[in-house]
Amino acid sequence: MRILIDMDDVIANAVERFLEWYERDFGVRYTKEDLRGTKLHMIVPEEHRKIVKEYPHCEDFFKDLPVIEKSIEVVEELNNRFEVYIASAAMEFPYSLPHKTKWLDKHFPFIHWKRRIFCGDKSVLKGDILIDDHDFNLSVFDGRAIMFSSPHNLNDTKYERLDSWLDAEKLFDLK
Amino acid sequence: MRILIDMDDVIANAVERFLEWYERDFGVRYTKEDLRGTKLHMIVPEEHRKIVKEYPHCEDFFKDLPVIEKSIEVVEELNNRFEVYIASAAMEFPYSLPHKTKWLDKHFPFIHWKRRIFCGDKSVLKGDILIDDHDFNLSVFDGRAIMFSSPHNLNDTKYERLDSWLDAEKLFDLK
Protein backbone atom coordinates (compact mmCIF):
# COMPACT_ATOMS: atom_id res chain seq x y z
CA MET A 1 0.00 0.00 0.00
CA ARG A 2 1.30 3.41 -0.97
CA ILE A 3 0.82 6.39 1.38
CA LEU A 4 1.62 9.91 0.16
CA ILE A 5 2.35 12.44 2.90
CA ASP A 6 2.44 16.20 2.39
CA MET A 7 5.16 18.35 4.01
CA ASP A 8 4.00 21.85 4.96
CA ASP A 9 1.69 21.83 7.96
CA VAL A 10 1.63 18.04 7.98
CA ILE A 11 5.22 17.22 8.98
CA ALA A 12 6.84 20.70 8.73
CA ASN A 13 5.36 23.59 10.67
CA ALA A 14 4.97 26.41 8.15
CA VAL A 15 2.17 28.10 10.13
CA GLU A 16 4.66 28.69 12.93
CA ARG A 17 7.06 30.37 10.48
CA PHE A 18 4.29 32.73 9.25
CA LEU A 19 3.47 33.74 12.83
CA GLU A 20 7.14 34.17 13.71
CA TRP A 21 7.96 36.35 10.65
CA TYR A 22 4.87 38.48 11.13
CA GLU A 23 5.86 39.14 14.73
CA ARG A 24 9.43 39.94 13.60
CA ASP A 25 8.14 42.45 11.01
CA PHE A 26 5.15 44.01 12.78
CA GLY A 27 5.53 43.22 16.49
CA VAL A 28 2.20 41.39 16.78
CA ARG A 29 1.99 37.71 17.66
CA TYR A 30 -1.11 36.06 16.28
CA THR A 31 -1.94 32.56 17.51
CA LYS A 32 -3.09 29.38 15.83
CA GLU A 33 -6.52 30.02 17.33
CA ASP A 34 -6.70 33.33 15.41
CA LEU A 35 -6.21 31.34 12.20
CA ARG A 36 -9.19 29.04 12.62
CA GLY A 37 -10.78 28.58 9.19
CA THR A 38 -8.56 31.20 7.58
CA LYS A 39 -4.97 32.17 6.73
CA LEU A 40 -2.71 34.83 8.21
CA HIS A 41 -2.87 37.17 5.20
CA MET A 42 -6.67 37.30 5.61
CA ILE A 43 -6.63 38.59 9.20
CA VAL A 44 -3.73 41.04 9.22
CA PRO A 45 -4.31 44.74 8.43
CA GLU A 46 -4.94 45.14 4.72
CA GLU A 47 -1.66 46.99 4.13
CA HIS A 48 0.30 43.93 5.36
CA ARG A 49 -1.50 41.36 3.22
CA LYS A 50 0.79 41.47 0.22
CA ILE A 51 3.90 41.20 2.39
CA VAL A 52 2.55 38.15 4.22
CA LYS A 53 1.59 36.46 0.95
CA GLU A 54 5.15 37.01 -0.26
CA TYR A 55 6.74 35.27 2.74
CA PRO A 56 6.93 31.77 1.19
CA HIS A 57 8.57 33.26 -1.90
CA CYS A 58 11.46 34.54 0.25
CA GLU A 59 14.73 32.67 0.18
CA ASP A 60 14.77 31.48 3.80
CA PHE A 61 11.10 30.92 4.55
CA PHE A 62 11.34 27.12 4.43
CA LYS A 63 14.76 26.90 6.11
CA ASP A 64 14.82 24.83 9.31
CA LEU A 65 11.05 24.75 9.81
CA PRO A 66 9.98 23.22 13.12
CA VAL A 67 8.91 19.57 12.91
CA ILE A 68 5.24 18.81 13.54
CA GLU A 69 4.80 16.99 16.84
CA LYS A 70 5.45 13.24 16.72
CA SER A 71 5.51 13.20 12.89
CA ILE A 72 8.99 11.67 12.71
CA GLU A 73 8.17 8.68 14.89
CA VAL A 74 4.84 7.92 13.22
CA VAL A 75 6.02 8.41 9.64
CA GLU A 76 9.03 6.20 10.35
CA GLU A 77 6.75 3.48 11.67
CA LEU A 78 4.45 3.85 8.64
CA ASN A 79 7.52 3.73 6.39
CA ASN A 80 8.54 0.42 7.96
CA ARG A 81 5.16 -1.10 7.15
CA PHE A 82 4.03 0.62 3.93
CA GLU A 83 5.34 2.32 0.81
CA VAL A 84 5.58 5.90 2.10
CA TYR A 85 6.28 8.89 -0.16
CA ILE A 86 6.72 12.48 0.92
CA ALA A 87 4.97 14.62 -1.69
CA SER A 88 5.22 18.39 -1.48
CA ALA A 89 3.60 20.84 -3.90
CA ALA A 90 6.81 22.87 -3.73
CA MET A 91 7.20 24.10 -7.30
CA GLU A 92 5.44 27.39 -6.62
CA PHE A 93 8.33 28.25 -4.29
CA PRO A 94 11.61 27.46 -6.06
CA TYR A 95 13.73 28.67 -3.14
CA SER A 96 12.11 26.01 -0.98
CA LEU A 97 13.58 23.07 -2.90
CA PRO A 98 17.09 22.93 -1.40
CA HIS A 99 15.73 23.73 2.07
CA LYS A 100 13.14 20.98 1.82
CA THR A 101 15.76 18.48 0.68
CA LYS A 102 18.09 19.36 3.56
CA TRP A 103 15.19 19.29 6.01
CA LEU A 104 14.17 15.79 4.91
CA ASP A 105 17.81 14.64 5.06
CA LYS A 106 18.02 15.92 8.62
CA HIS A 107 14.67 14.91 10.10
CA PHE A 108 13.39 12.14 7.81
CA PRO A 109 16.59 10.47 6.57
CA PHE A 110 14.72 7.16 6.38
CA ILE A 111 12.71 8.53 3.43
CA HIS A 112 14.95 7.54 0.53
CA TRP A 113 15.36 10.01 -2.34
CA LYS A 114 13.36 7.60 -4.48
CA ARG A 115 10.38 8.29 -2.22
CA ARG A 116 10.49 12.10 -2.37
CA ILE A 117 8.36 14.17 -4.73
CA PHE A 118 8.28 17.90 -5.35
CA CYS A 119 5.41 18.69 -7.67
CA GLY A 120 2.98 21.38 -8.69
CA ASP A 121 -0.49 19.95 -8.52
CA LYS A 122 -1.07 16.54 -6.99
CA SER A 123 -3.57 15.24 -9.54
CA VAL A 124 -0.60 13.55 -11.21
CA LEU A 125 0.19 11.34 -8.21
CA LYS A 126 -0.91 7.75 -7.88
CA GLY A 127 -1.35 6.21 -4.47
CA ASP A 128 -3.73 4.58 -2.04
CA ILE A 129 -3.77 7.28 0.63
CA LEU A 130 -2.93 10.99 0.64
CA ILE A 131 -2.47 12.80 3.95
CA ASP A 132 -2.61 16.53 3.25
CA ASP A 133 -3.92 19.74 4.81
CA HIS A 134 -5.34 21.27 1.61
CA ASP A 135 -8.69 20.65 0.02
CA PHE A 136 -7.24 21.51 -3.41
CA ASN A 137 -4.78 18.61 -3.10
CA LEU A 138 -7.17 16.11 -1.54
CA SER A 139 -9.98 16.86 -4.00
CA VAL A 140 -7.93 15.84 -7.06
CA PHE A 141 -6.61 12.63 -5.48
CA ASP A 142 -8.45 9.47 -6.41
CA GLY A 143 -7.43 7.32 -3.46
CA ARG A 144 -8.36 7.67 0.22
CA ALA A 145 -8.01 11.35 1.10
CA ILE A 146 -7.17 12.14 4.73
CA MET A 147 -7.19 15.78 5.85
CA PHE A 148 -4.45 16.58 8.34
CA SER A 149 -5.85 19.20 10.67
CA SER A 150 -4.37 22.66 10.41
CA PRO A 151 -5.95 25.92 11.63
CA HIS A 152 -7.00 26.96 8.11
CA ASN A 153 -8.95 23.75 7.40
CA LEU A 154 -10.75 23.19 10.72
CA ASN A 155 -14.17 24.09 9.29
CA ASP A 156 -13.88 21.66 6.38
CA THR A 157 -16.13 18.64 6.81
CA LYS A 158 -15.58 16.91 3.47
CA TYR A 159 -12.78 14.52 4.45
CA GLU A 160 -11.78 11.83 6.85
CA ARG A 161 -9.52 13.65 9.29
CA LEU A 162 -6.27 13.13 11.17
CA ASP A 163 -6.10 15.73 13.93
CA SER A 164 -2.48 15.12 14.81
CA TRP A 165 0.23 12.47 14.64
CA LEU A 166 -0.69 11.72 18.26
CA ASP A 167 -3.74 9.97 16.76
CA ALA A 168 -1.40 7.54 15.09
CA GLU A 169 -3.45 4.50 15.99
CA LYS A 170 -5.95 5.53 13.30
CA LEU A 171 -3.18 5.00 10.80
CA PHE A 172 -1.70 1.86 12.29
CA ASP A 173 -5.01 0.17 11.72
CA LEU A 174 -4.46 0.63 8.00
CA LYS A 175 -4.52 -2.64 6.13
CA MET B 1 -4.77 13.52 -22.37
CA ARG B 2 -1.79 13.83 -20.05
CA ILE B 3 1.77 13.51 -21.43
CA LEU B 4 4.72 13.26 -19.02
CA ILE B 5 8.08 14.26 -20.49
CA ASP B 6 11.44 13.50 -18.90
CA MET B 7 14.22 16.13 -18.80
CA ASP B 8 17.73 14.67 -19.02
CA ASP B 9 18.54 13.37 -22.48
CA VAL B 10 14.99 14.04 -23.64
CA ILE B 11 14.85 17.85 -23.56
CA ALA B 12 18.16 18.64 -21.76
CA ASN B 13 21.40 17.29 -23.16
CA ALA B 14 23.16 15.66 -20.21
CA VAL B 15 25.18 13.30 -22.43
CA GLU B 16 26.89 16.34 -23.92
CA ARG B 17 27.85 17.57 -20.43
CA PHE B 18 29.38 14.17 -19.57
CA LEU B 19 31.49 14.25 -22.75
CA GLU B 20 32.48 17.88 -22.16
CA TRP B 21 33.55 17.35 -18.53
CA TYR B 22 35.46 14.20 -19.37
CA GLU B 23 37.40 16.06 -22.06
CA ARG B 24 38.03 18.92 -19.62
CA ASP B 25 39.41 16.49 -17.01
CA PHE B 26 41.24 13.91 -19.13
CA GLY B 27 41.78 15.49 -22.55
CA VAL B 28 39.91 12.80 -24.47
CA ARG B 29 36.74 13.56 -26.40
CA TYR B 30 34.46 10.55 -26.68
CA THR B 31 31.53 10.79 -29.09
CA LYS B 32 27.89 9.82 -28.91
CA GLU B 33 28.73 6.90 -31.22
CA ASP B 34 31.17 5.57 -28.58
CA LEU B 35 28.25 5.47 -26.14
CA ARG B 36 25.99 3.21 -28.20
CA GLY B 37 24.30 0.80 -25.80
CA THR B 38 26.39 1.92 -22.86
CA LYS B 39 27.29 4.85 -20.61
CA LEU B 40 30.45 6.90 -20.38
CA HIS B 41 31.61 5.43 -17.05
CA MET B 42 31.57 1.98 -18.66
CA ILE B 43 33.99 2.82 -21.49
CA VAL B 44 36.53 5.10 -19.80
CA PRO B 45 39.68 3.63 -18.21
CA GLU B 46 38.76 1.89 -14.99
CA GLU B 47 40.56 4.45 -12.82
CA HIS B 48 38.27 7.21 -14.15
CA ARG B 49 34.99 5.38 -13.61
CA LYS B 50 34.27 6.61 -10.11
CA ILE B 51 35.00 10.22 -11.08
CA VAL B 52 32.63 10.07 -14.07
CA LYS B 53 29.88 8.51 -11.97
CA GLU B 54 30.26 11.39 -9.52
CA TYR B 55 29.78 14.11 -12.18
CA PRO B 56 25.98 14.47 -11.75
CA HIS B 57 26.48 14.82 -8.00
CA CYS B 58 28.64 17.92 -8.56
CA GLU B 59 27.11 21.32 -7.94
CA ASP B 60 27.22 22.63 -11.53
CA PHE B 61 26.67 19.52 -13.61
CA PHE B 62 23.07 20.41 -14.53
CA LYS B 63 23.71 24.15 -14.94
CA ASP B 64 22.85 25.53 -18.39
CA LEU B 65 22.66 22.15 -20.13
CA PRO B 66 22.25 22.41 -23.90
CA VAL B 67 18.69 22.02 -25.14
CA ILE B 68 17.88 18.90 -27.17
CA GLU B 69 17.25 19.82 -30.80
CA LYS B 70 13.74 21.07 -31.57
CA SER B 71 12.43 20.02 -28.14
CA ILE B 72 11.21 23.51 -27.25
CA GLU B 73 9.07 23.94 -30.36
CA VAL B 74 7.54 20.47 -30.20
CA VAL B 75 6.88 20.45 -26.46
CA GLU B 76 5.28 23.89 -26.72
CA GLU B 77 2.99 22.61 -29.47
CA LEU B 78 2.13 19.51 -27.42
CA ASN B 79 1.51 21.76 -24.43
CA ASN B 80 -0.99 23.79 -26.46
CA ARG B 81 -2.95 20.68 -27.30
CA PHE B 82 -2.54 18.36 -24.32
CA GLU B 83 -1.88 18.34 -20.59
CA VAL B 84 1.93 18.28 -20.60
CA TYR B 85 4.03 17.72 -17.47
CA ILE B 86 7.80 17.78 -17.23
CA ALA B 87 8.79 14.97 -14.87
CA SER B 88 12.41 14.57 -13.86
CA ALA B 89 13.75 11.89 -11.53
CA ALA B 90 15.96 14.56 -9.99
CA MET B 91 15.95 13.66 -6.32
CA GLU B 92 19.14 11.60 -6.55
CA PHE B 93 20.97 14.84 -7.40
CA PRO B 94 19.88 17.53 -4.95
CA TYR B 95 22.18 20.15 -6.49
CA SER B 96 20.29 19.76 -9.74
CA LEU B 97 17.00 21.12 -8.39
CA PRO B 98 17.64 24.89 -8.60
CA HIS B 99 19.46 24.46 -11.93
CA LYS B 100 16.59 22.47 -13.39
CA THR B 101 14.07 25.06 -12.20
CA LYS B 102 16.06 27.93 -13.75
CA TRP B 103 16.60 25.95 -16.93
CA LEU B 104 12.86 25.32 -17.32
CA ASP B 105 12.12 28.99 -16.56
CA LYS B 106 14.55 29.98 -19.30
CA HIS B 107 13.83 27.46 -22.05
CA PHE B 108 10.34 26.11 -21.24
CA PRO B 109 8.62 29.07 -19.55
CA PHE B 110 5.29 27.87 -20.96
CA ILE B 111 5.42 24.87 -18.61
CA HIS B 112 3.69 26.30 -15.55
CA TRP B 113 5.09 25.36 -12.12
CA LYS B 114 1.92 23.32 -11.58
CA ARG B 115 3.09 21.06 -14.41
CA ARG B 116 6.62 20.41 -13.12
CA ILE B 117 7.60 17.35 -11.13
CA PHE B 118 10.89 16.39 -9.52
CA CYS B 119 10.61 12.88 -8.18
CA GLY B 120 12.59 9.80 -7.29
CA ASP B 121 11.03 6.85 -9.02
CA LYS B 122 8.31 7.40 -11.59
CA SER B 123 6.03 4.55 -10.53
CA VAL B 124 4.11 7.16 -8.53
CA LEU B 125 3.12 9.20 -11.62
CA LYS B 126 -0.23 8.92 -13.33
CA GLY B 127 -0.56 9.81 -16.98
CA ASP B 128 -1.44 8.58 -20.45
CA ILE B 129 1.98 8.84 -22.06
CA LEU B 130 5.53 8.92 -20.68
CA ILE B 131 8.40 9.99 -22.95
CA ASP B 132 11.64 8.96 -21.27
CA ASP B 133 15.07 7.59 -22.17
CA HIS B 134 15.31 5.04 -19.35
CA ASP B 135 13.91 1.54 -19.24
CA PHE B 136 13.68 1.74 -15.42
CA ASN B 137 11.25 4.68 -15.71
CA LEU B 138 9.25 3.35 -18.66
CA SER B 139 8.89 -0.13 -17.19
CA VAL B 140 7.07 1.09 -14.04
CA PHE B 141 4.70 3.37 -15.96
CA ASP B 142 1.26 1.96 -16.67
CA GLY B 143 0.33 4.19 -19.61
CA ARG B 144 1.83 4.32 -23.12
CA ALA B 145 5.61 4.23 -22.68
CA ILE B 146 7.67 5.92 -25.42
CA MET B 147 11.45 5.56 -25.35
CA PHE B 148 13.26 8.71 -26.43
CA SER B 149 16.39 7.60 -28.23
CA SER B 150 19.67 8.28 -26.48
CA PRO B 151 23.00 6.54 -27.13
CA HIS B 152 22.71 4.32 -24.04
CA ASN B 153 19.29 2.89 -25.01
CA LEU B 154 19.76 2.27 -28.73
CA ASN B 155 19.83 -1.52 -28.35
CA ASP B 156 16.61 -1.64 -26.35
CA THR B 157 13.73 -3.06 -28.38
CA LYS B 158 11.03 -3.21 -25.71
CA TYR B 159 9.33 0.15 -26.36
CA GLU B 160 7.72 2.30 -28.97
CA ARG B 161 10.43 4.78 -29.84
CA LEU B 162 10.84 8.47 -30.59
CA ASP B 163 14.21 8.94 -32.25
CA SER B 164 14.23 12.72 -31.98
CA TRP B 165 11.88 15.69 -31.69
CA LEU B 166 12.32 16.04 -35.46
CA ASP B 167 9.97 13.03 -35.64
CA ALA B 168 7.31 15.13 -33.99
CA GLU B 169 4.60 14.13 -36.45
CA LYS B 170 4.48 10.75 -34.68
CA LEU B 171 3.31 12.61 -31.61
CA PHE B 172 1.04 15.06 -33.35
CA ASP B 173 -0.91 12.10 -34.69
CA LEU B 174 -1.78 11.31 -31.09
CA LYS B 175 -5.49 11.08 -30.59
pLDDT reading at B173 higher than 80: no
Instruction: Set out the domains of chain B in order of their start, with CATH numbers.
Output: 2-13+66-172 (3.40.50.1000), 14-57 (no CATH)
Q: Is the ipTM of this complex over 0.90?
A: yes
Per-residue confidence (pLDDT) for residue B172, from 0 to 100: 74
Considering only alpha carbons, which residue of chain B is nearest residue A127?
B124
pLDDT reading at B69 higher than 70: yes
Considering only alpha carbons, which residue of chain A is nearest residue B100?
A94
> A27-42 in b/e burial notation, b at 16+ Cβ within 10 A?
eeebeeeebeeeebbe
> What number is the average pLDDT over the span B13-21?
97
B70 backbone φψ class: left, alpha, beta (φ>0; ψ -120 to 50)? left
Count chain A–chain B contacts defined by CB atoms under 8 A.
79
pLDDT tens readout for residues B37-64: 999 999 999 999 999 999 999 999 999 9
Q: Across the interface, do A114 and B120 touch by the CB < 8 Å criterion?
A: yes
Nearest to A101 among B87, B97, B116 (CB): B97
Per-residue confidence (pLDDT) for residue B168, from 0 to 100: 82
pLDDT reading at A145 higher than 80: yes
Per-residue confidence (pLDDT) for residue A173, from 0 to 100: 78
Per-residue confidence (pLDDT) for residue A94, from 0 to 100: 93
pLDDT reading at A175 higher than 70: no
| DSSP class per residue in A140-167 | T--SEEEEEP-GGGTT--SSEEE--GGG
Per-residue confidence (pLDDT) for residue A168, from 0 to 100: 82
pLDDT tens readout for residues A37-69: 999 999 999 999 999 999 999 999 999 999 999
Q: Across the interface, do B91 and A97 touch by the CB < 8 Å criterion?
A: no
